[in-house]
A and B are shown apart, each in its own frame.
Chain A
Amino acid sequence: MGFLNPWLLAGLAGVAVPILIHLLNRFRQRRIDWAAMELLRRAIVIRQRRIRIEDLILLALRCLAVVLVALAMSRPTLSTAGAKWFGAQEQVGAVIALDGSFSMAFRPGVGSRFDRAIETVKDLKAALDPGDPTSLVLMGNRPRIALRATGYDDRRLEKALKEMQPLPEPLNLEQCLDQLLPLVRETRAPVRECYIVTDAQAATWGNLSEKARRALRDIGQEARIFVLPLAPDSGENTALAGLALQSGSLRRGTLARLAAEVRNFGRLTQDRVVVSLLAGEKPVDQRVVERLAPGGAQTVPLFVRLDEPGSLRLTATIGHDALDTDNVRHAVARVRDQVRVLVVDGDPSDRPYRGETDYLATALLPKPPPGGKPSMAVEAVPWVELPSKNPDTYDVVILANLPDIRQAQVDELFGFVQEGGGLAVFLGDKVNPVLLNPRMRQGDAALLPGEVGEAAAAPGDAPEGAPLAAADAQHPLARALEVLPPALMAEARVQRYFKVALGTQGRAVLKVAGADTPLLAEKSIGRGKVLLFASTADRAWTNLPTHPAFPVLLQEIVTYLTTRSHERPWVVGEPLVVALPTRSTVTSVVFRGPGGAETAVQVLQRDGRRVAAYEHTDQPGFYEMAQPGGPPAAAAVNVDARESDVRTLVGESLAAALSGLPVQILGPDVLNKAGAIRETRVGRELWRILMLAAIAVLALEGFLAWRFARQMQAAESSPTPTGRQVLDERSAA
């Protein structure tokens, strides 16, 4: 038995208050001469004893209430042993949350952080007694519950710990804490504790979101939280933080360029970091970063020759360090034999560069390699020939300044895009929005990202027009232009453009500087995409076709339109969503993970598309989805580079990060952690019970006082004859 506020025990002296009031009432008497002493004496003989007993009962209850309130305010606690002594089985409900993010795989010496965390959990075993309801959770991108409120059993816990490995995931603290709360709540024990064993990674714990803080507060309402950070270590880690294809369309026989970002998260300079690239199992390139400053990053170009069409699996690695998980990154390159592009000219001309598509064709067909096959097969046709062309025989269709289009062609194009084709639409003076907008629909579904409105001059007074600006800086097409010199980009001008009102699924990519509506907008339909350029593909309304950025933009547009969504890099834990051809009738597809395990996934209808979503991307590497009637679709899944910063918070900095939260930090300097927890364990706090008891006692006192008074009133209500009554009775007689 202990007291958290022992000085408030002085409040016990308050028990004197009701006694004093009682005595004062007794001694503060009024005096009266009285004749009917005999009646009074007889009444007292009957009542006085009862009054005295009632008074004593009420006085005792008042004193008891004061004692209970004073005791409650001093917050007495009953130790577990004490509770047992009183006959109560005082259990401790424990939720052990173990950080399983891949920073825990950091191995600066002999053992990894995870090994030390396991040892810490084993240290905590001494804080638990057999039978205590215990949960064990491995925290990663989401929590994995290994034990759920099972009675504590040493062997079972050991076994569960043995099966645990760090996950190739970052720690999503918000989600994990959010799901710890119900686990804590369902733990049926009077004393509940939550132990969080973590490396206290600065990137995660240094700036806790309000949601995470709220979750900690909520858990703190239910249980005592102990954060057990591991001992600090070197934190030196070099990671391959990114790997991305930099080339345009990947075609057989060309050289693809990849950018590998190497980042030093440590405090020491790293020398000679070797970056290797493997195509499948075969090493294809190697670069050396001679010097990488602390906190610095360097992007290394890597090249690979694309000899065969199909999905090429590329893996970049750097040399071993204390954390290998982030030393590897994967990418998938889809190599085509040749990209077939159909360019439809809405304003054809025999004169060079007077037609609508001349600049397009030039931009799409750069000088082919000597003796090589052009990477694209561009076929330009006047718009009147469009009905004779089957879009399905092309990868990309570009419509430029089309005066009109038949509904049959729109339907064909719709199907073409749904099955994975790419459509780019350029506008111009031949376009009549009144005709175009209703034409470019299939039923309720619009083919274009938005409604084409009236043509307008570019904002500003400059006669040469306004420059381009990114509407979505993260979009691959916007990023492609962003790498170009700003001064060069500033020379690309748009004088006139159509105002486009984006539809619900439309997404702005580029815009004219100062304008509200997009210049380039995108929309996904089925497996394919549609791009709408709101100005001309020739020099009529913009100088862009003669600008050096035009070929870059066109190449990127074709690459973007021919890239499948699943070919982008994915992150571990992120559901892998693959769009299927709408004509396909399969109801389930099989995914194969990096380890070779196969899982059948149901095909779903989502946003008008048929998709298969694979949720269990638990490991980095290559995933395959068997495609009906084609080669398997491959996707690369990588670890989240944010977790690579393995620097941790220690001592004061961790305390500062957790300040104001109901947590106790048991740092690595506390050798006997279980003992420390047992010492701080105050067992069952009794103040609530005492306060409830005080309220109950006061209620009882009030009830009894009311009842005594009621009895008194009931007795008083018996009639006593008065002189008038006696006379009245006599008169009546």
Chain B
Amino acid sequence: MAPKPRPKLKYLDSQVLQNLDSLDLVAREVVEGVRVGMHRSPLRGFSTEFAHHRPYVPGDSVRHLDWRVYGRTERYYVKLYEAETNFDAHLLLDASASMRFGSGGLSKLEYAKFMAASLAYMIVDQRDSVGLAVFDSQLRRYLPPRSAMGVLSIIDEALAQAVPEPRTDIAGLLHEFAGRIPRRGFVILFSDLFDHVDEFIKGLDHLRFRGHNVAVFHVMDPYELRFPFGGGTWRFEGLELEGEITTQPKRIRAAYLEELRKFLQQIRKACERSHVDYVLVDTSRPIDVVLSAYLISRIHQAAGTRNR
């Protein structure tokens, strides 16, 4: 079978997409959709896949009465079916200045853009809707979810236009976003999370409270993860206007790594507690590897949930 034609967009890497071709982004929990899709809906509909019976109540359509059950029990039962639906995925891209950092050729922001574009393609490709929100200290750009292929070029353009701005208030944004999304959907956040962790966790909890599937792609540069500085004195200038620090990084590496460990552990634990997917993304690793690993883990989880 000939490969599907893919739009030529800046942040879509055909090689990445090819590697992710056989994978789907599945909602771990039920989502609400407007069309028939591949995800379970919280609504019991009258579709094809039988779910269970419930007693007839006035107002139910007599079409759904199970006459066989009536024949056996002389009671009216209505057949309920499992509804399958699509979801609305919201890609939240942190475009704050700290995302500008990149020790290699690619900054965290650029890496996140590639990830977002790839996911957007996959979501649209599996007939789900995808939207984009670019934010720093405030929401800079919002594209509501759409399932048409054309949304990809709009997202790509929005990604290209996203420029880093100082200050991140992820928590505020998550709260705002939780209120803005009408239906339960899939919220995917790309950020380095250099914010107040407690506030950020509250924002996640808000989203979860509203019934959204939430995934956090914690984008970190290898230098931030491993702090591999040599000897000598370095002056670190904050990208978020935090001033500057002069120190000998080699001498404080241990303390830094310890702080990093605590920071990551705090986020991870908060995400686990809130049933939020947490993915620590090392920007030195290939995007397709990161995404495919995540998608496979999602598929496994979804399968587990269904079996239960």
Contacts and interface: CB of A to CB of B under 8 A. Distances in A.
A716 B236 contact: no
Interface in A17-57: 25-44, 46-48, 51
Nearest to A731: B297
A723 B251 contact: no
B119 to A, nearest CB: 16
A607 to B, nearest CB: 80
A35 B192 contact: yes
A31 B100 CA distance: 16
Contacts of A26: 233
B259 interface: yes
Interface in A685-721: 712-716, 718-721
B227 to A, nearest CB: 9
A28 B226 CA distance: 24
Contacts, number: 159
Contacts of B232: 25, 28-30
A722 interface: yes
B297 A730 contact: yes
B163 interface: no
A718 B235 contact: no
A44 B250 CA distance: 12
A48 B233 CA distance: 13
Interface in A437-485: none
A37 B240 contact: yes
Nearest to B296: A731
A721 B265 CA distance: 9
B87 to A, nearest CB: 21
Contact of A727 (B98, B247, B293): B293
Interface in B79-124: 97-101, 108
A583 interface: no
B250 to A, nearest CB: 8
A10 interface: no
B294 A32 contact: no
Given A47-B254, A722-B282, A731-B296, A34 B290 contact: no
A304 B236 CA distance: 117
Contacts of A37: 194, 236, 238-240, 242-243, 245
A35 B98 contact: yes
Interface residues of B, number: 56
A162 interface: no
B233 A723 contact: no
Interface stretch (B49-57, B178-186, B203-211, B217-225): B217-225
Given A37-B240, A37-B245, A727-B290, A721 B257 contact: no
B42 to A, nearest CB: 25
Contacts of A88: none
A39 B256 contact: yes
Contacts of B238: 33-35, 37
A32 B237 CA distance: 6
B125 to A, nearest CB: 23
A13 interface: no
A726 interface: yes
B247 to A, nearest CB: 6
B274 to A, nearest CB: 15
Contact of B285 (A27, A720, A721, A724): A724
A709 to B, nearest CB: 9
A35 B233 contact: no
Nearest to B221: A35
A721 B261 contact: yes
B254 A30 contact: no
Nearest to A708: B251
Given A712-B254, A715-B255, 15 more contacts: A25-B233, A26-B233, A33-B101, A34-B245, A36-B260, A39-B256, A44-B247, A46-B255, A47-B252, A51-B251, A715-B254, A716-B257, A723-B280, A723-B281, A727-B279
6 contacts: A26-B233, A35-B221, A44-B255, A47-B251, A715-B257, A723-B279
Interface of B: 97-101, 108, 192, 194, 220-221, 224-226, 232-240, 242-243, 245-248, 250-261, 263-265, 268, 278-282, 285, 290, 293-294, 296-297, 300
